[in-house]
Structure 1
Amino acid sequence: MLQLTQRERGLLEDQQSHEQLCVYKYKSYAQQAQDPVLKQMFQKHAQHEQQHLNTVNQILSGQVPAMNQQQGQQLGQQQGQQQQSMQQSPNMQQQNMASQGLLSSVAGSSSQANEDDLQLCRDMLVTEQYISSSYDSAIFQFNNPQVRQAFNHIQKEEQQHGQELLQYLQQNSIM
């Protein structure tokens, strides 16, 4: 059973509220997003954030999280698949729409939808940056090596989310 100091408990409660907000925002933004690629990314990130929340809750309840190499391998595979999907998607979407004669008729409305999607993406990028930095600070406040390892793992995923969001922005706008 993991014994937490009052300070550690306070830091964990902060991380818990951050992860709850992330899960909420990603789920909400997945429903609002118009671009299927962005919608899928938000749904995937919501699942990761739920895993992070579960890990934080586990630590708060005094359990030591079991972080293993398989989780790291899964993350690497998911990163490669997401990057490949994002690189192919904008061109494929345009080709599909053009072949259906939809590109010109949707151009006006898609411009606003695209801007709305970009705003959602920018907001999540700022959120991920903040949460990643909060884990960076919190990791040094814990003595337990397994908790530190769990925070390190979560922070890497937060940084990966930020990278994917940034790539999406770069491919779909001038930031």
Structure 2
Amino acid sequence: MQIKLSQKERMLLEDGKKQEELCVKKYQGYANQVQDVQLKNLLMEIAQEEQHHHDMIDQMLQGMEPNMSHSGMTATPQNDNTFQETSGNTNDQLLLEDLLATEKYVSGFYDTTVFEAANPKVRQAIQHIQKDEQGHGEKLFNYMNSHGMYDVK
């Protein structure tokens, strides 16, 4: 089924596509820098989900209804032993803080986009993406909290 985008929807989706490209690059790059294998796997998993979001947005920009189902593939981390010389926990925490801030920003961006979407299919797809982004933030928070990097008082 073809979808027709308004000029505003197209502009917002183009911005979202750029945000997703940045998220994919960040998650993949940071996965190659972290010390903990569990964290590396988590970041690669989220990178794949961000790539799926990018693909969904690209489909909408091409006038197609987006495929909202995930491929179900699990991430395979790249073996990169060139770690930072700083403490792994400190470096990992800094990277996670940046990723959590990114997720907060992206989720807020999608919140605005939901309200600006006139096409119900676009709105539904953006709500789906936003829910995933909030889930990414939750996964990052849970990892940070369980590893003493985010203290809830």
Counting aligned pairs with the same residue, the percent is 43
Q: CA deviation at 1:7?
A: 1.3
Shift of 1:67: 3.7
Alignment correspondent of 2:78: none
- Residue matched to 1:21: 22
The alignment's TM-score, normalised by the length of structure 2, stands at 0.83
What is the root-mean-square deviation in Å for CA atoms of aligned residues? 2.0
Distance 2:101 2:115 in 1: 23
Counterpart for residue 40 of structure 2: 39
CA 111–21 in structure 1, closer or farther in 2 if over 3 Å, else same = closer
Q: 1:174: how far off?
A: 4.4
Instruction: Judge conservation of contact 1:128–1:158 (CA < 8 Å) in 2.
Output: yes
- Secondary structure of the 2:87 match is helix
Q: What is the TM-score of this pair, normalised by structure 1?
A: 0.73
Q: Give the superposition deviation at 1:66.
A: 4.0
Q: Which has the larger radius of gyration?
A: 1
2:130 to 155, 163, 168: 155
Specify the alignment match of 1:100 in structure 2: none
Equivalent-residue separation in structure 2 for 1:25 and 1:67 (angstroms): 22
Determine whether 1:133 maps to 2:108.
Answer: yes
After superposition, what is the alpha-carbon deviation per residue over 1:105-148, rounded to whole angstroms, capped at 9, x for unaligned? xxxx9981111011111110000011011111101111221111
Q: Which residue of 1 aligns with 2:6?
A: 5
CA distance in 2, matches of 1:127, 1:169: 15
- Aligned partner of 1:35: which letter? D
- How far apart in 2 are the matches of 1:46 and 1:174? 21
> Where does the alignment leave 5 or more consecutive residues of structure 1 unmatched?
79-108
Q: 1:25 to 1:169 in 2, by over 3 A?
A: same
User: Structure 1 stretches (4+) deviating beyond 2 angstroms?
Assistant: none
Alignment partner of 1:32: what SS? Answer: coil
Task: Give 2:105's aligned amino acid.
Answer: Y
Residues 67 and 149, structure 1, Cα contact 8 Å, conserved in 2: no
Q: Does residue 112 of structure 1 match 2:87? A: yes
